[in-house]
Each structure stands twice: as C-alpha cells, then as structure tokens.
Structure 1
Amino acid sequence: MGVVNVTPDSFSDGGHWFDTTAAIKHGLGLEAEGADLVDVGGESTRPGASRVDEAEELRRVIPVVRGLASEGVTVSVDTMRARVAEQAVAVGAALVNDVSGGLADPDMVPVVAAAGVPFVVMHWRGFSESMNSRAVYGDVVTEVVEELRARMEAVIDGGVSPEKLVIDPGLGFAKNGVQDLALLAGLPRLGELGRPLLVAASRKRFLGHVLAGEGTPPPPARERDAATAAVSALSAHAGAWAVRVHAVRPTADAVRVARAVEGAA
C-alpha cells in the first residue's frame, strides 16, 4: 500500500504532493514501483496534528481518488469522515482505511456497510492531539488484541460483513516506541483475530529512535526507508496482508527477498 498524503503537514512528506496533479503523478509512480493499492489521505494524523474541516478534506482527496481510479489504480481512501469515504467510493475508491476504526464519525460504519467495500479497522484510542497521553498499557499486545476484537464486533454489528474487515495494530497511535516494537514482535497474536493484517510502520518515530541509538538525535523521516523495508520483510514473514509505506521500491525488494528465502527453506 503506497501512501499519497495530499496534505501540507504530514510528518514525513507533507506538502510534497499537495497539488492534485502532483499527487496523481506520485500515485501512478508508486503503482509503477510495485504498489498493489494506493492510499490517498487529506488529513494528517501525526501526533499533535489539528483536524482539517470536511470541505477542505473533500477538496484535497476527491480529485486525486478520481484521477488515480480513472487510470486503473486500486485506491484506498484514508479518512475518518463518512462523507469523505462515501464520496471517495463514488468516484472509484475500492477500500476505506479509517485510523479510528469508525469511532470518529458515527456515520462511518453505516456508510461502509452500504458501500460493501473492505474496511480497515485500526486500533485507536483518540485523536492526534491527545493520543500520546493514552499510551498506557499493562500488556500492550494483549490489550490491543482485545480492543481490536471488541471494535471488530461493533463494526460487524453495525452491518459490515466480517469478510470485508482488515485490522491494523495502529503503530504510533497511542503507543510509544517500546510498545510499537512489542506489537511488531507480537504480530502472530494479532493473526489470531482471523482477519487480514495491515502494518503501517513507514518512517515512524520509533524507527528513528531505533536507528539513532543512545544519545543521538533520530534521522529525518525520509531517511528511515531502509528501516521501513526491514519491518516490511518481518511483517510479510509474520503473515501480514499488506504494509503501508511511503517508499514502495525498497519494501517491494525486501519482501521479494524474504519470499525467496522462505521458498528455499
């Protein structure tokens, strides 16, 4: 899953693809590099980010989704708003990726159910402004699994077919670096939920801290692609359905090598 952030303020590449034409061109490039689907979002969810209003999110996202879908790209829409999801599906989006798992907008689950498209349910404990304060766990893997299970049941009760659900542990969302690493080590436990697993670690701060080591400032987000590719290979080995990344080619290469090694065993 290649990332197209149509935002001025995303943590990794905000502003680079803010123009509609540039965003469409970037999405086409990601597909050419090996992305199976392209995830288009118009609202930054980095820690501390403020929300944009619905009209602005629609203005950013819909022309890009329409443009990519018209070129035959499989598009997912990254949004917490039901109206954005509904309009994106209407112009060609094939999947809805909601980092709140349908909690931010009570209309999201009914909209997704009516559309009949796959729905990514991420583990979420609150909006960006406050999520760092919610990173309190006794056993992060157990609690994330239990909270995701409860959310899956609520979404299914809301009318979404169980076969349409994809789950995401929400790395970096109400988790610190140690908790993110524990969740990666615990991916097989998430597999017990019985649904395809999306892993979204690309360029996140916990990778910066791993690379920096003790007493060294983390490298900039755009210098974390090799670390992202390592996580992608590990996630593939653990059975992930997809990985959400900014730089597709390093991850595609890493997963290809991982698969070749597995095939030779």
Structure 2
Amino acid sequence: MPDWADPRDLDPEVRRALRGLEARNATRVAGHLVAAGSLVDEDPAEALAHARAARDRASRIAAVREAVGVAAYHAGDYAEAARELRAYRRMSGDPGYRAVLADCERAMGRPEVALRLVREALEGSPDAAETVELRLVEAGARQDLGEVAAARLVLEGALGGRPSPEALDWDDPGTARLASAYADLLAAAGDEAAARPWQEAVAEHAPDDDVEVTEIEETADEGGATAADGAPAPEDGAALEAPPGAAPGLDPAAGRDTGGRAGSPADVRRGGRGRGGRAAR
C-alpha cells in the first residue's frame, strides 16, 4: 500500500458503503480504493491491481466492484470491465455505464452486441452527454462491421444532419467530439476533400481532442460477461471517519479522455447521473 494512500481521503459515499466491514479491513479497502483512484490516469494497470486488492477483501460492496470495472476499462481489460460493471449495476440498481458496456463489447470483437446495447440504451431516453457517447460507440461498431456509410450517417445525424463545420457550436464538448470523429471517419474512408475542412475546423476549435480512427485490439472474454460475487459476507465493524473536504478516491463519475478507438466513449460515466464511456476511437 503506498504511504500516500490515506483511507480518510475516500469519497464519503463510498466510505459509508464500507461500514459493514471490520474496521481494519475497511481501512485496507479504503486505502486500495484511494490508490486506485489516484493512479487510474497515470498508471491504470497499477490502479487495477489496487482495485482488485479491494475486491479481494470486499467483493460484496457495489462501489468496490464499480472501482474494479472502471480501472479495468482504463487498463484495457474489457472483459473484466464488463463483468465488474454489470455486477455493480446488479448490486446497486444503478442503470448507468451503458455506453461503456457497449464499448467493451466492441473491444471484445462483438460489434453486433454493442449495437444492440446502444439501441436499448437509446430507447431509455439518455441525456445529451450519454447520447453523444452512445452515438460514437454506434459509429465505431458500424466501422468494425465494415459499414462505413452507415457509420457516416450515424455521425451526421448526431451532428444535426447535413452538418457543416461553420454551423456547429464548437463550445459544446459533445459536438466537438462528434465532429472530431466525423473528420477522422471521412479521412479513413478516403474522402480527403470532405475531410479537409473538418480537420481544419477541429484543429482550430478542438486542438486538444485526441480522437482518432484506429484498428481495435480484440480482447478474449474467457469467462463470459456474467458477474460473480461469491466472496464471504463482510464482517460488521466501525465506519471510517474522514476530515472535512476529503478528496474522493476512485470516482468513476469523473470523466477522463482515454483517447483511441473510433466509437469508444472518452469519459467513463454513469448513464444519466454522470458520464458514460470513451468516445470515437
């Protein structure tokens, strides 16, 4: 456990969820969660190791399973991410992470399943931010299937239909992300004339956007997508106390751009409550 991982820095909501654990165990779990949350950007593999260590001690805590799923997603272990986030959803009743789960299916070489999950999520009236993530995953899944024209229609529809760079609201992050994906899609399809004005607009208005179209790496899901939480029941014990203003540990609702694959949500989000996935890789 890193010396700097102070269990008192854990998010209060997660800290409350650990109250059923024996006091010493709760402190260890909290420390691992704080370490995972602090490392997820710079060292996602190490963050995942800490999240797994927390799961080994508290697998029946929904927030712990959520932490493992988020860390696994950032570390590129999409099979584990899908299993853990499904376990979290089942245990907590939170319907979020729909775009992330669809993106995991893409990464595991199942674009048809990804499209089904996107369709089901869109039927649930997602908010604007999640809709952007879902459309990006949808476009990426169409690309995976070789349906470039269909992917183009998805992005054009998300941008309002027959979009032009001059007519967009570039101050809207979702619009900028969709436009970046659209520019990359046009270039990947060999339509350089159409791609050029979009690429120039992206360079001008969203120069820090790292969305690009690349080939995905398939991840084998040896265990399937079924979640399991068969660890022994936690022991009763004292809750952790935290000083006022404590920083959160692993906060899956805090978005982070992971770059990469077309159609993968760029931020990990909780459906309508937070943010939901990685976008257009």
TM-score, normalization: structure 1? 0.28
* Structure with the higher fraction of residues in helix conformation: 2
Greater relative CO (CA pairs within 8 A, separation 6+): 2
User: Which of these two proteins has the greater Rg computed from alpha carbons?
Assistant: 2
* Structure with the higher fraction of residues in strand conformation: 1
TM-score, normalization: structure 2? 0.27
